[in-house]
Structure 1
Amino acid sequence: MRNKNKSVLVLIIGIIILLAVYVVAVPKLRRKFNVIKTPWGEKIKSGNLAPDYEIYKTLEDVKKFKLNTINVPVLIDIKDLNSSNVTVNRKSIEKAKTLIDRLNRRGINVILEAFPFIKNGELYETKWKPDNLDKFFYNWENKALNKIVEEVAIPYDVYAVNVASNFVNMEKYQDKWCKIIDNISNKYKGKITYRTNWWYTSKIDKNSQKAFEEKLENKIFSKVDFISVAAYFELSDKEENKTKYLKKCLKSSKVYNRHQNIYGELKKLSEKWGKPIFFGELGFPRRKGAAKEPWNPIPTSVVSGQEQANCFEAYRDVFKNQQWHLGFSIFAIGKEDEFKYYYPSKESTEILKNWYNN
């Protein structure tokens, strides 16, 4: 009788162990099988951090939006829009190390970005025009990129390094960028990307067409592992839009009657260089008018979390299953207050958290 009771106890323990394995392992297997693959690997679902991000809020947002990657900025202090000098912000680099250590323990990938912090964040990198280009390129490589690669990217084994973001006035110096990327690649074995700014084309604006063709031929994109794009494309001239309408706008924009095929141009850029496209910044202000001026934090004074959500949903539906599209990074998370106009609304959160997870 005692042996029979012992056998029953062993059987019960075995069943409990099997149930525990099922509860833990099966959801993971389901997530694995549901991952959408590209020729370059798994889709990236990331979030850009605000320059003044909070570590605890970042970790909360990773769970909230179900992210597998975080774009971590290291602030690069720059005096003004004409300065050629750059300095790594020491507090920022130490903060990044602390965060990345915690992200690594959670299995979250990191894209490390040298973030131009011009006049304490008052000015934008799209307007930056250094007065001495040779000095700028030397300093950017040696005083910014090399420092964050040697101090953070290599020892913390980060997934990717973003060598530049939205440098509108410096992008045309292809050979200098190619040399920098080659030098970084010699010491850092992770992935390298470069984030180009959004653009527009119009059938009645030949200069815009020429500018796109020049971007298309830029040799920088031959050197990177994936092409990042800050996706602030102007879609609709309406202040309020349905998702279905915005999806049409992505293939024929309605702003100023341009009829820009944003989807087609991004695909063309990917095909030109055989590299995937990644939305290194994908964000919309929580305002009516967000689809007309996504780059403007306050396009109108009327708050609309639904308009923001419709913009995200349109991008999701158009690009989600395209194999040449590698993923996106939400702009911007890691801190939420009354001045964070781009932080996703409740309606947007529902769209974002299930992106790639269905």
Structure 2
Amino acid sequence: MRFFGIFLLFLSLSSCTSQTKKINGASFVAYGIPVDESHTEPLVTKINANFAAVMPFGFIRSLNNPEIIHNTERQWFGETRAGAKQYSEELRKQNIKIMVKPHIWIRRGEFTGFLNMETEEDWKALENSYTNFILEYAQLAQEIDAEIFCIGTELENFTLKRPKYWNNLIDDIKKIYKGKLTYAANWDEYKRTPFWGKLDFIGIDAYFPVSDEQTPTFEKSMEGWLKHKPVIKSYSDKFQKPILFTEYGYRSVDYSGKEPWKFDRSMTEVNLEAQVNTTKALYETFWQEDWFAGGFIWKWFVNYDKSGGKENNQFTPQNKPVEQVIKTYYSLEKS
């Protein structure tokens, strides 16, 4: 009996520490048309993805405007409720799980983290507008049985200045959606996000700087993670929640590891090796850690054959050498 008890204890400890199935995801970009197998199958055949982030959009006219315009006929199909549902249904046919991840776009590409109202009246109006926006997609996530719902993306000023609203919003979302919840905090925001304890994943858009080199080497990129990784893990430990990279990736451009969040046109020199080395270092740093849930590569366009390529200097891995790197790490385990 003593041996049997020790055996049961061993099984219990093993189940607590064994690595769970990783979320090997891609951010599936909204487009102007419905999708079909030709658009979804490359996620599996090219990178072995098992998850996709479906991203409907709302639009705001300026950083101090409280009105979120969403689900209108003027939007691209994939940015609407109907489009997000159709995308999800087609992705399901490839056995791909779903994270519904609504985004906000502010005119001229202003950073959403700077969204700021000038009066209490406008803050209340923004809260009402955001509630209508996000609950619409919480209902969709429940309707399609999405595995994860992301309650917001890079909204630091909003979350810090209105914490009571966000806590109440999470309660309202939980009344509608019964799956797992996260929030996509920017890489330099997550340490101040006030509601991790109420969610299932600590979500980070992981554009951490790792190297100042023109062509970051794999070794230097690994070194660059040494200052970030312990801090990230400490938040997993503190809240007893797994870390999820709600976005991650690097441009195929010179100095890709220096300020990975940049997508402006001032950086133009194509550097495929830089993208490969920085991406591989990220996988080597995190993908075998038990406290790390996985992540969503940024970004994957629906028309595979016309996307990316060796002359492309943007984030997408499509038709670039880094694609094989992703597939290699995404093939380490099956879901």
Is TM more than 0.5 here?
Answer: yes
1:341 aligned to 314, 317, 328, which one?
A: 314
Q: Which runs of 5+ in 1 are unaligned?
A: 1-35, 200-211, 252-260
Q: For residues 339 and 128 of structure 1, what CA distance do their matches in structure 2 show?
A: 31
**Matching residue of 1:49:** 28
**Matching residue of 1:196:** 185
2:134 aligned to 122, 134, 145, which one?
A: 145
- Is the contact made by 1:229 and 1:278 (CA closer than 8 Å) also made in structure 2? yes
Find the residue that maps to 1:48 and give its secondary structure.
Answer: strand
- Structure of higher CA gyration radius: 1
- Is the contact made by 1:111 and 1:158 (CA closer than 8 Å) also made in structure 2? yes
| Cα displacement (A) at 1:357 | 1.5
Q: CA, structure 1 residues 169+322, in 2 after alignment: closer, same or farther (shift >3 Å)?
A: same
Q: CA, structure 1 residues 40+164, in 2 after alignment: closer, same or farther (shift >3 Å)?
A: farther
- Is the contact made by 1:174 and 1:218 (CA closer than 8 Å) also made in structure 2? no
Q: CA, structure 1 residues 37+101, in 2 after alignment: closer, same or farther (shift >3 Å)?
A: farther
Q: CA, structure 1 residues 308+339, in 2 after alignment: closer, same or farther (shift >3 Å)?
A: closer
- Is the contact made by 1:86 and 1:144 (CA closer than 8 Å) also made in structure 2? yes
Which amino acid is the alignment partner of residue 129 of structure 1? N
- Is the contact made by 1:45 and 1:68 (CA closer than 8 Å) also made in structure 2? yes
Q: For residues 129 and 204 of structure 2, what CA distance do their matches in structure 1 show?
A: 24
Q: CA, structure 1 residues 284+99, in 2 after alignment: closer, same or farther (shift >3 Å)?
A: same
Find the residue that maps to 2:329 and give its secondary structure.
Answer: coil
Alignment of 1:221-236 (within 5 A): 221-236=196-211
2:242 aligned to 252, 261, 276, which one?
A: 276
Q: For residues 272 and 298 of structure 2, what CA distance do their matches in structure 1 show?
A: 15
2:89 aligned to 101, 114, 120, which one?
A: 101
Q: CA, structure 1 residues 39+179, in 2 after alignment: closer, same or farther (shift >3 Å)?
A: farther
1:294-321 superposed Cα distances (whole Å, 9 cap, x missing partner): 1112563210111011111000001111
1:55-80 superposed Cα distances (whole Å, 9 cap, x missing partner): 34344234311101100011112222
Q: Which runs of 5+ in 2 are unaligned?
A: 1-14
Find the residue that maps to 2:158 and give its secondary structure.
Answer: coil
Which amino acid is the alignment partner of residue 150 of structure 2? N
2:252 aligned to 252, 274, 286, which one?
A: 286
Q: CA, structure 1 residues 82+293, in 2 after alignment: closer, same or farther (shift >3 Å)?
A: same
Q: For residues 53 and 177 of structure 1, what CA distance do their matches in structure 2 show?
A: 32
2:168 aligned to 175, 179, 183, which one?
A: 179
Alignment of 1:189-268 (within 5 A): 189-199=178-188, 216=191, 218-251=193-226, 261-268=227-234
Q: CA, structure 1 residues 223+105, in 2 after alignment: closer, same or farther (shift >3 Å)?
A: same
Q: For residues 229 and 296 of structure 1, what CA distance do their matches in structure 2 show?
A: 16
2:293 aligned to 301, 305, 326, which one?
A: 326
| Cα displacement (A) at 1:346 | 2.0
- Is the contact made by 1:286 and 1:305 (CA closer than 8 Å) also made in structure 2? yes
Give the root-mean-square deviation of aligned CA atoms: 2.4
**Matching residue of 2:6:** none
1:240-290 superposed Cα distances (whole Å, 9 cap, x missing partner): 121011101111xxxxxxxxx100110011111000001111011110110
Residue 161 (1) aligns with residue 149 (2): yes
- Is the contact made by 1:48 and 1:70 (CA closer than 8 Å) also made in structure 2? yes
Q: For residues 245 and 56 of structure 2, what CA distance do their matches in structure 1 show?
A: 19
2:64 aligned to 82, 104, 115, which one?
A: 82
Q: For residues 80 and 170 of structure 1, what CA distance do their matches in structure 2 show?
A: 14
Q: For residues 155 and 32 of structure 2, what CA distance do their matches in structure 1 show?
A: 23
Q: For residues 39 and 194 of structure 1, what CA distance do their matches in structure 2 show?
A: 25
TM-score between the two structures when normalised by the length of structure 1: 0.77
TM-score between the two structures when normalised by the length of structure 2: 0.82
**Matching residue of 1:207:** none
| Cα displacement (A) at 1:38 | 7.0
Q: For residues 102 and 325 of structure 2, what CA distance do their matches in structure 1 show?
A: 29
Which amino acid is the alignment partner of residue 42 of structure 1? K
| Cα displacement (A) at 1:339 | 7.3
Q: For residues 37 and 216 of structure 1, what CA distance do their matches in structure 2 show?
A: 26
Q: For residues 81 and 273 of structure 1, what CA distance do their matches in structure 2 show?
A: 32
Structure 1 window deviating more from structure 2 (288-297 vs 41-50): it is 41-50
Find the residue that maps to 1:70 and give its secondary structure.
Answer: strand
- Is the contact made by 2:25 and 2:297 (CA closer than 8 Å) also made in structure 1? yes
